[in-house]
Amino acid sequence: MGRLKIFETTTQNFINFAGGNPGAITTLFELQKVVQDKTAIYLITLDKMELYEDKLYMLWNDCCNRDISKVIKILDYYEKGIINQIDIDERIKNVGYGKSFDDLIQDKEERKEE
């Protein structure tokens, strides 16, 4: 079930997504710093991906080494269908520690260049 509530404030949606996880709330604030007025669009994507609480933190911390630009790239690729839910599940949800997306991103970018 999605956590994004369209009639809630951004702050309340951040709380809903983070579920008390301080790393997740930090991730969302880092995202907001960069994307600013597009924050709601990225919240929709995170909601589709079902990334909340510790999984949201794992995306930023473990998978992207706290590089918010990588997080944004993954979210954009997910929206474009370049990265799919299976990739998300294999690298974040079904493991105890998030796995990097660098190899997957590089592979997708190399295929795009061909």
pLDDT tens digit at each of 114 positions of the chain: 588 898 889 899 999 999 999 999 999 999 999 999 999 999 999 999 999 999 999 999 999 999 999 999 999 999 999 999 999 999 998 766 778 888 888 877 777 666
Confidence at residue 35, expressed as pLDDT on a 0 to 100 scale: 97
Q: Is-contact 13 41, C-beta < 8 A?
A: no
Inter-CA distances, 79 with 24, 48, 52, 72, 94, Å: 21, 9, 17, 11, 21
- 2 within a domain of the structure (yes/no): no
How many domains does the chain fold into? Answer: 1
Does some domain include residue 3?
Answer: no
- Phi, psi (deg, nearest 5) at residue 72: -60, -40
pLDDT, position 87 = 92
Examine residue 4 and state whether it is found in any structural domain, yes or no: no
Range(s) of the domain holding residue 37: 10-113
Q: Classify residue 37: in a domain, yes or no.
A: yes
Give the predicted TM-score (pTM) of the model.
Answer: 0.86
The CA distance from 59 to 55, in Å, is 6
